[in-house]
């Protein structure tokens, strides 16, 4: 039971992967010297040996445990090799499924990457469009603000010019009114001065007339007095003469 052997077996069966030559796979079976009790109840504790299956492609190397009681001399060897073939088909099928799953996963990841890249590009394009729209809006707002500022400055200058014209007109009107008032005041002053002068002249003339009348009355009184005095003196003189004559 502890002997070891190495056998090249050629098996032909229908199900093959595209990577291998069609309908032919070479198995190199090496029998290990180590024996272990069979785990199958029907073997009644018989020992089995470990076989290593090596196919030409080193990437397809598999380690499998199969139950053998007497190695290639066992009458069940062909059925065991059939089991090995089915196991290999199962492994390749699982490998193909895993590879297909990995491929599908890779394709899905690639699609997700493409989708994410497209989404990122769309987001970037959207962001760029928003930035451009924002820049355009800011530029338009700036131009509009400049126009409004220019228009406001123009309106302000126009209003200031209008206010200046109005102020000049008002100042001119005020000056004219002041000049007219001054002329009116001057004329009034002249009239008042003339009236005052006339009143003064009248008063002076009246005073002169009164003084003249007074002087004339005084002169008349004095003349009358003088005449009375002379008459009295003549009378006294005449009386005296008469007394003397008597």
64 bridge partner residues = 51
Task: Work out the number of other CB atoms within 10 angstroms of the CB of residue 48.
Answer: 19
Cα 150–chain centre separation: 23
pLDDT digits 0-9 by tens, 19-30: 443 333 334 444
Q: What is the pLDDT at residue 150? A: 92
Phi and psi dihedrals of 29, rounded to 5? -110, 120
The low-confidence residues of the chain, meaning pLDDT below 70, are 1-85, 87-88, 91, 239-246
pLDDT digits 0-9 by tens, 26-44: 344 444 445 556 666 666 6
Domain ranges of the chain: 6-75
pTM (predicted TM-score): 0.32
* 55-64 burial: b if 16+ Cβ within 10 Å, else e: beeeebeeee
Residue 67 host element (H or E): none
């Amino acid at each position: 039971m502890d002997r070891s052997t190495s056998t090249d077996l050629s098996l032909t069966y229908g199900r093959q992967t595209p990577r291998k030559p069609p309908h032919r796979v070479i198995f190199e079976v090496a029998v290990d010297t180590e024996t272990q009790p069979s785990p199958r109840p029907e073997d009644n504790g018989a020992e089995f040996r470990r076989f290593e299956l090596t196919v030409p492609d080193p990437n397809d190397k598999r380690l499998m445990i199969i139950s053998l009681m007497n190695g290639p001399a066992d009458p069940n060897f062909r059925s065991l090799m059939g089991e090995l073939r089915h196991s290999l088909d199962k492994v390749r099928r699982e490998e193909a499924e895993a590879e297909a799953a990995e491929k599908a996963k890779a394709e899905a990841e690639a699609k997700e990457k493409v989708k994410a890249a497209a989404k990122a590009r769309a987001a970037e394009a959207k962001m760029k469009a928003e930035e451009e729209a924002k820049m355009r809006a800011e530029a338009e707002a700036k131009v509009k603000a400049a126009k409004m500022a220019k228009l406001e400055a123009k309106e302000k200058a126009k209003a200031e010019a209008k206010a200046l014209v109005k102020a000049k007109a008002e100042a001119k009107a005020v000056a004219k009114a002041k000049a007219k008032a001054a002329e009116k005041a001057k004329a009034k002053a002249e009239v008042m001065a003339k009236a005052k002068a006339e009143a003064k002249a009248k008063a002076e003339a009246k005073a002169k007339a009164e003084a003249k009348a007074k002087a004339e009355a005084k002169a008349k009184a004095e003349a009358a007095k003088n005449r009375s005095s002379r008459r009295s003196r003549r009378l006294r003189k005449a009386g005296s003469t008469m007394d003397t004559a008597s």
